[in-house]
Chains A and B, each alone.
Chain A
Amino acid sequence: MIGITSYGAYIPLWRVNLSEIGRARGEKAVSNFDEDSVTMAVAAAMDCLKDRDRSKVGSLYFATTTSPYVEKQAATIVAVAADLPREIFTADVTDSTKAGTTAIRMAYDAVKAGSAKEALVVASDKRLTSPRSDFEMNSGDGAAALLIGDTDIIASIEGSFSVTAEINDFWRVPGDSFLRAGEDRFALGEGYIKATRDAVSGLMKNHNLSLQDFSRVAIYAPDSRRHAELVRGLGFDEKKQVQDPLFGKVGCTWTAHSLMLLIAALEEAKPGDKILLAGYGNGGDAFYLQVTERIKDVKNRRGVKKHLESKRMVDYATYLRWRDLLPEVPSAVRPVKIPSTTALWREQREVLSFHGCRCMNCKNIQYPIQRVCTFCHAKDKYEEVQLSEKMATIFTYSMDYIAGTKDVPMVVTIVDFEGGGRTMLQMTDRIIEEIKVGMPLELSFRELSSVGGIHNYFWKTIPVRV
């Protein structure tokens, strides 16, 4: 039996009220200016890997249509930041919104073939949408992670069915900031509706399933109207069976969307429940899953539910600034320096994995790694410790109003880690009035800068999300 052994998700803290975009109710989830598909993927992966033995993970598939690099693997950044072992297979699965479900299929096949004990699928998207467009209204940011394995399964993958669809419904060519789309009745009708319907129908036919077999139906959709059209057309009971597609709450999170809906379904599932999962993007992938007794053992996950509850509103103009969609006066602040790629490579265990050290002589934890202990001065007697999952508290902080960052003021914190260690980190996702000495914080992987073609990632502090 092969199936899901753990799940995790990430929805950014921030929400934009849809009434600021057009005639609509509800809100959409938007990532901060320092988040992208990679940082959100790391957050979802960390949620999924909590209390798991990372050494069992043999493959990582990073599914996205919005990789920060056109050429250079992004899965490697996710792998190192999520502190996965070096001896793993990594791949980016890209270029269509179906990449999330495609990655599930690839992970399933890898585990089935025995090339990985466990395979981690992380799907994440941060899509740039043109202001006040329908895409902007319907699009949201988020990430989902699923661990696929063959032991301690919480939901078995009982079968899958895929169709391919060669069609220019949505596409981008190199250099495009925004999605191109065909005439929507054609693009959505012959693309999304047809391929997804055919995948679901094929799956049900192959496995002799009837509509009533499914307690939950988690289906990708580019907008709520097409979602309703599809599930109604297939004959599912919208109230009883269909998983809320999160429009008005998050929006379509593209490659991550159907995975997030699956996770939301798993959060409410009972042993024996059958779940339908379907993704679309130049073809449809459909899966049939069955929940096991072990679903009760999944604890300590933020998943979709807790992330949905943890939110703050951001005004539309600020959101547009975050996306660089408002022209700005060239600032009188010095440009950010290009990081040294050799230094970044050399320091990746500290910078990306956020490893500090524990002195084997005096046991004190330090960050970054100190070859000579700051306390007892022992030389080269340390072991690495992962600090990215530690809780921290503000020892002191300041808020710089002239440093010229996108989030004025720039808040920098000196934090003390639970269990020892202190360091200085920028703070993000913060509400100025709530910051105080002693405030509990956690770490979040963020993009510090992007200059010279280098996306420079590091950890920042954030108020505890849940």
Chain B
Amino acid sequence: MEGIKDRVAIVGMGCTKFGELWDKSPDDLMIDACWEAFEDAGVDPKDIQAAWVGSTMSGRRGTMLARPLKLEYIPITRVENACATATDAFRNACYAVAAGIYDVVLACGVEKLKDTGFTGLPGNLEIITSEVTPPSPPPMQFAMAATRYFHHYGLSYEQGKRILAKIAVKNHHNGTLNPKAHFRREITEEQAINAPMIAWPLGLFDCCGVSDGSAAAIITRPDIAKNFKQDYILVKGLGIACGAQQAVLQNTYDYVHFQENVAAGELAYKEAGIKTPREEIDIAVVHDCFTITEMIIYEDLQWSPKGRAPEDVESGFFSLEGGLPVNTDGGLKCFGHPIGASGLRMIYEVYKQLQGKAGPRQVKNVRTGLTHNLGGSPGWFTSAVAIFGRRD
């Protein structure tokens, strides 16, 4: 089984500012993100041979991308895979290039959440059911993991909240250094701990925001990539894993780890040839939809031993100056989470960091970067891990 390692390259990327973009439509967002990518790659939109567009609720069909961009009569596929939607659109684009079907393709993710008129996520609007499953908004779902994590590892509420607060403080700090972030304000641990409760034990600052945004990437083969630019970025590994609701069906499931993360990480690490992730990954942008999620990811992706992530949080290992800076761009915490766009927004940050173009938040000597998405709820997540590296 041949993996994706070094078989595709990113030659251009774009990302809108994320936030409550009341004056932007999904079309505006896609145009802004894709044109930045076209200009970054120096590619004419007419040269795009195929495209994948990720969105969970802002449009349907490939035509949602063709119409605003005026991509004419090329194959375009709309992708939906929860919070991993954009990463999966990117993944499908990579595979088409690696298969030799196309030379230059576009992957775009977009979401317009702030037109719904309500706070939070709308859930499955179109799926018709008996509606007896308990209403389970994301904060509540992940709060159940926090409750269990505290219980399982014997953390008091106060201890647990303080550790989670440190993650929020770190990501908010990183966000202040990023002009494209939605929230750009430092917060304190006390603020985070004492914030209004959203879904106990998670408070306001344990939760990411809800925002609008779009991001896009131009993908090609490495042998063609140098025609576009010298500092193109190589894809080293792509892993996606879907759960079968084991956590809620099996009373043996511990709820303090998410097996989908573990599986997606192993797939990507294997492709990338990474054996010691804690040492080999230089930066990571992960799915911090909630602070507890980021903490569990540290363990699931083998950066911290099980139950020991709090120690690494305490020591600042994941801060911008630490051994493995995580969410260098501010994460979902500061960007908010326009679901269909987030995966490509994360790739955008890793791309910029690998090129050394991340400005005041640039981490030194970044050779390998990782992105991670997690969508759904415990037991039936879609988890995606992507690994990127510089050309040799």
Binding site for B on A (CB under 8 A): 332-334, 336-340, 343-344, 346-347, 351, 364, 366-367, 370, 374-375, 395-403, 405, 409-410, 412, 414, 416-417, 420-426, 437, 448-449, 456, 458
Contact = CB atoms under 8 A, between A and B. Distances in A.
Given A395-B251, A396-B147, A420-B251, A403 B132 contact: no
Interface stretch (B116-124, B164-172, B338-346): B116-124
Contacts of A347: 130, 132
Contacts of A370: 249
B120 A343 contact: no
Contacts of A374: 244-246, 249-250
Given A402-B120, A402-B198, A449-B131, 10 more contacts: A336-B131, A338-B131, A374-B245, A398-B143, A400-B140, A410-B135, A412-B144, A421-B251, A423-B249, A424-B248
A424 to B, nearest CB: 5
8 contacts: A339-B131, A374-B250, A375-B250, A396-B144, A400-B139, A400-B198, A402-B137, A424-B248
Contacts of A405: 135
A355 to B, nearest CB: 13
* Most A-side CB within 10 Å, residue of B120, B147, B151, B246: B147
Contacts of B137: 400, 402-403
Nearest to B150: A437
A182 to B, nearest CB: 43
B255 interface: yes
Nearest to B248: A424
B1 interface: no
B128 A340 contact: yes
B224 interface: no
A369 to B, nearest CB: 11
B255 A351 contact: no
A397 B119 CA distance: 23
A340 B130 contact: yes
Contacts of B253: 422
Interface string B196-209: 11111110000000
A332 B251 CA distance: 36
A344 to B, nearest CB: 5
Nearest to A423: B248
For the complex of A and B, list the 5 residue pairs with the smallest distance between their C-beta atoms, beginning with the closest.
Answer: A398-B143, A339-B131, A399-B200, A396-B148, A343-B130
A397 B147 contact: yes
A351 B119 CA distance: 29
Contacts of B135: 400, 403, 405, 410, 412, 426
B360 interface: no
* Interface size grouping (class) on chain B: 35 or more
B195 to A, nearest CB: 11
A367 B250 CA distance: 9
B276 interface: no
Nearest to B249: A374
Contacts of B120: 402
- Most A C-beta atoms less than 10 A away, residue of B120, B130, B140: B130
B145 A396 contact: yes
A456 B132 contact: yes
Contacts of A339: 129-132
A370 B147 CA distance: 27
Interface of B: 118-120, 122-123, 128-137, 139-141, 143-148, 151, 196-202, 244-246, 248-251, 253, 255
B249 A366 contact: yes
Nearest to B377: A424
B130 A344 contact: yes
Nearest to B128: A340
B200 to A, nearest CB: 4
B130 A414 contact: no
B200 A437 contact: no
Contacts of A456: 130-132
A343 B147 contact: no
Kindly name the residue among B122, B136, B196, B246 whose own CB sees the greatest number of chain A CB atoms within 10 A: B136
Nearest to A405: B135
Given A409-B200, A410-B135, A448-B132, A396 B151 contact: yes
A401 B198 contact: yes
Contacts of B143: 398-400
Contacts of B248: 414, 422-424
A343 B246 contact: no
A333 B253 CA distance: 32
Given A398-B144, A399-B200, A424 B130 contact: no
Contacts of B244: 374
Nearest to A334: B118
A397 B122 CA distance: 22
Contacts of B146: 398
Which residue, B122, B128, B135, B250, has most C-beta atoms of chain A within 10 A? B135
Given A370-B249, A412-B144, A414-B144, A402 B200 contact: no
Residue of A374, A395, A398, A402 with most chain B CB atoms under a 10 A cut-off = A398
A437 B140 contact: no
Nearest to B146: A398
A396 B251 contact: no
A364 B135 CA distance: 27
B148 A425 contact: no
Given A396-B151, A398-B140, A400-B199, A425 B134 contact: yes
A416 B23 CA distance: 48
A337 B255 CA distance: 29
A256 to B, nearest CB: 27
